[in-house]
Amino acid sequence: MKPAYSVILLTTLIGTAQGLVLALVGVEIAALASTLPIEPLRPFLVAGAAVAVALAMLGLLASFFHLGHPERAWRAAASWRTSWLSREVIALPLFIALAAGYGLDHYAAGRSTVIVGIAAATASMALFVCTGMVYAAVRVIREWASPLTVANYTLLGSASGMTLAAATAAYGAPDHAISLARLALLLTVAGAAGRIAALDRNARLARQPKSTPQSAIGIRHPRIVQTSQGAMGGSFGTREFHHGASDSAMKAVQWTMLAGAFAIPAALLAIALARNDGIATPLAAAFAIQYAGLLAERWFFFAQARHPQNIYHGHRV
């Protein structure tokens, strides 16, 4: 498939926002469980919620560039009974509203912050499921049609959000920075395991294709080769359903993804955990590199998807 940069930005930005909100609510619950005062944490929680809302709003804005008629975007929510995309369209504004409410409640020193926070965390998890199922429910694209799709969207978004929370805590809530960094490292390793499992699964699917050029056009001849596409040598299908990158470029993006999203951030998180002070710089670097790596990961996620129509045009990936 041809990756849409607006969707890449949407899914990575809101994923980070969702993970950040989960981290903030976790910090508050942990503080309450330890009978620690909440007041010193309020500036950190307010700032974190504001960042989460800003990231989610930027993701929402990016999604409008993927629409042919943005003025009709509201119609996308009409099929919520059957469409995961419609459910995502509903869940995203709900998540933004609850995250904003969580931050405002802390800013006003309210007493219902935990309740609002749990609601925001629940909306975050629901949004992870909706976003992942938008792709996992597309059975015709076998690379997406797997529980690993939902799991990886959840793990990768949670990992980036937790890393951002750790970096932010190094400045605003240093007592919690190490705990958040530990969780970020754990989620990064889990995300790497899930993504590698998906890569292995997709490699096996490529070796055992369900569709062939023969089945694509309904001819059983043992050798079928397309020699011309006709007209001007291209079509909507060849432009919109295939990325056009070479095998070497695909391999380069794959290694960039593995290094940027997982290996380097994990190393930086480990360095931060091994130090007693001066952890803000490695944590901030870990988030910046991890987010860049996730951009590559999401591009690869879309590009690796083999739409059946590409078989007709002779595209292997």
Whether the pLDDT of residue 308 is over 60: the answer is yes
pLDDT tens digit sequence for 40-76: 999 999 999 999 999 999 999 998 887 767 667 677 7
* Phi, psi dihedral angles at 34 (to 5 degrees): -95, 10
User: Which domains are present in the chain?
Assistant: 5-312 (1.20.1630.10)
Identify whether the C-beta of residue 224 lies closer than 8 Å to the C-beta of residue 213. yes
Identify whether the C-beta of residue 216 lies closer than 8 Å to the C-beta of residue 311. yes
Q: How many CB atoms lie within 10 A of CB 46?
A: 19
Percent of the chain with pLDDT over 70: 89
Q: Write the CA distances from 127 to 90, 99, 169, 177, 225, integer angstroms.
A: 9, 13, 25, 26, 43
What the block records as the tokens of 295 is 């951009």
Whether the pLDDT of residue 315 is over 60: the answer is no
Q: pTM of the full predicted structure?
A: 0.90
pLDDT of residue 208: 77
pLDDT band at 276 (very low <50, low <70, confident <90, very high): confident
Whether the pLDDT of residue 233 is over 80: the answer is no
pLDDT tens digit sequence for 136-153: 999 888 899 999 999 999
